[in-house]
Amino acid sequence: MRVTKPVNARRLPDDVEALKALVAEQDAHIRALEHRVQVLSKALFAPSSERRPSKDFRMDPGQMHLLFPELVEAAERVADEKQVEGSVEVKASGEKKTPRRRKHFPPHLPVIRTTFELPAEQRRCTCGEALAEIGEDLSRELERLEIAVVHEIARKKYACKVCQEGVKIAPGPDRVIDKGILGVGFLAHVLVERFADHMPYNRLEAKYASEGFELSRSVLCESAGRCAELLKPIAEEIKKDALASGVVQTDDTPVVIQEGSDQRSRKSRVWVYRGLGGEVFFHSTESRGSAGPASVLRGYSGYLQADAYSVYDAIYKGGDVIEVGCMAHARRYFVEAEDSEPEFSKEAVDRFRELYGIERALELAGALALLRGRAARDRQQRGGTRAAHHRRGPQELDLLRQRARRRDRVRVRVIRSTRRSAKLVHPRALI
């Protein structure tokens, strides 16, 4: 790109023709710069209605399943389990202006449509006549993959036009929350954002609003509560495994609970428990009294590592639970005694250093053993792959047949449309 230098009047030529040539050159350069600014301004600031889609857009129908593999795999699984046929369609964004009881789905989001149909052999009435399609049962939910989309789940309805009886509807996937607006992927996303990434509901509400769709914190909170009820059996199994390990670590921390919209709050405690195998579960109490750990550890037998909080004393008295102190807490007091008892403190801290060195050596030995085990398994797998390169076992053949059946049951179509053009439907593409 040419860079224009400031004009020095003393260095301008005295010849009139030379001055004219210089002015013409500067004028051409200015026009080129103005054109470039105009083009860039349109690209950045022009209304969306003035922008034109690229005419070079091409997409292979056989690769449509790469856009949303989670939904395609879910459709394959439902079609295989419930013996129905299905299709997944990617439609242009936009929503019909029809009255609804609940809030409209954001019109700018793309729409993914999963359709389930009865196989031809099941489209028979009890009177023997063929069933004709009379409509579909449609449910819509916000789903979150890498992006948020509106996921339509359509289940075709069939009825006999001769006897007007025998209405059938194709079965669909089970919903996490019946008649809820959030799909399973979006619910998992909310749980991870809230409890793994510690995002409060008001921030999640603002985050989704910035993406163009409204989800109130009450909807998010109620959905998370429903998921907690469904996941409770898994949490109980994790708790059983942790307590059965015979070695449990525990600690508690204060949390502030907000009640209502008037900013009232109260303090409570959350106790964390960790088993020998890394199993972790939590228990919430209103206070820091002994009732919380006593109820969790009732019937437990083994080692318990905790701080010197007095509520654990009653648990140790029974004899079934063996107290294990915390080295970090014990070392801290020796470090604090450096000024009053330097020699004694130094000896104790040095011994703690030796113990930490033994722990590091054991961790390193465990890591090396794990790496050696993985390397040995890799060598065995490579050798087995060479031996069975031209021979497949019965289990592998069964898996291939199941995968083929799923591919035959689900097809993927992509529909791209504009407001004034007809829909372009790609031909059926098997996954």
Return the pLDDT at 275.
92
Asked whether the whole model's pTM tops 0.85, one would answer no
Query: Minimum mean pLDDT among 67-81, 155-169, 291-305, 321-335: which range?
Result: 67-81
| Between 255 and 213, residue with greater pLDDT | 255
> What per-residue confidence (pLDDT) applies to 62?
45
Residue 222 has pLDDT above 80, yes or no: yes
Burial 26-63 (b: 16+ CB within 10 A, else e): eeeeeeeeeeeeeeeeeeeeeeeeeeeeeeeeeeebee
| pLDDT surpassing 90 at residue 234 | yes
User: Is it the case that residue 293 has pLDDT exceeding 90?
Assistant: yes
Mind listing the pLDDT tens digit for each residue in 38-65?
A: 767 766 665 544 444 444 434 444 444 4
Angle, CA of 366, 371 and 377, to the nearest 5° = 125
Which residues lie below 8 Å from residue 131, measured CB to CB, with a gap of 6+? 118, 123, 124, 125, 158, 159, 160, 166, 168
Among candidate residues 116, 119, 183, the one with its CA nearest the CA of residue 154: 116
pLDDT digits 0-9 by tens, 255-277:
888 776 666 788 899 999 999 88
- Concatenated DSSP letters for 91-148? E-S-------SSPPPPTTS-EEEEEEE--GGG-B-TTSPBPEEEEEEEEEEEEESSSE
**Exposed, middle or buried, 155 (CB in 10 Å: 0-12/13-18/19+)?**
buried
Whole-number Å distance between alpha carbons of 275 and 231: 19
Can you give the residue ranges of every domain in the chain? 61-96+103-224+411-430, 253-324
pLDDT computed for residue 411 by the predictor: 52
Residue 368 predicted with pLDDT over 90: no
pLDDT, one tens digit per residue, over 308-336 is 888 999 999 988 999 998 888 888 889 88
CA atoms of 319 and 423, how far apart (whole Å): 76
Kindly report the average pLDDT of the chain as a whole number. 77
What one-letter code names the amino acid at 99?
P
pLDDT 10s digits, 102-142 = 557 777 777 888 888 888 888 888 888 889 888 888 888 88
Instruction: Give the number of other Cβ atoms within 10 Å of residue 87's Cβ.
Output: 18
Distance, in Å, from the CA atom of 84 to the CA atom of 88, rounded to the nearest integer, reads 13
Confidence band of 244 (pLDDT split at 50, 70, 90): very high
The predicted structure's pLDDT at residue 431: 28
Can you count the helices (H) and strands (E) in the chain?
A: 10, 13
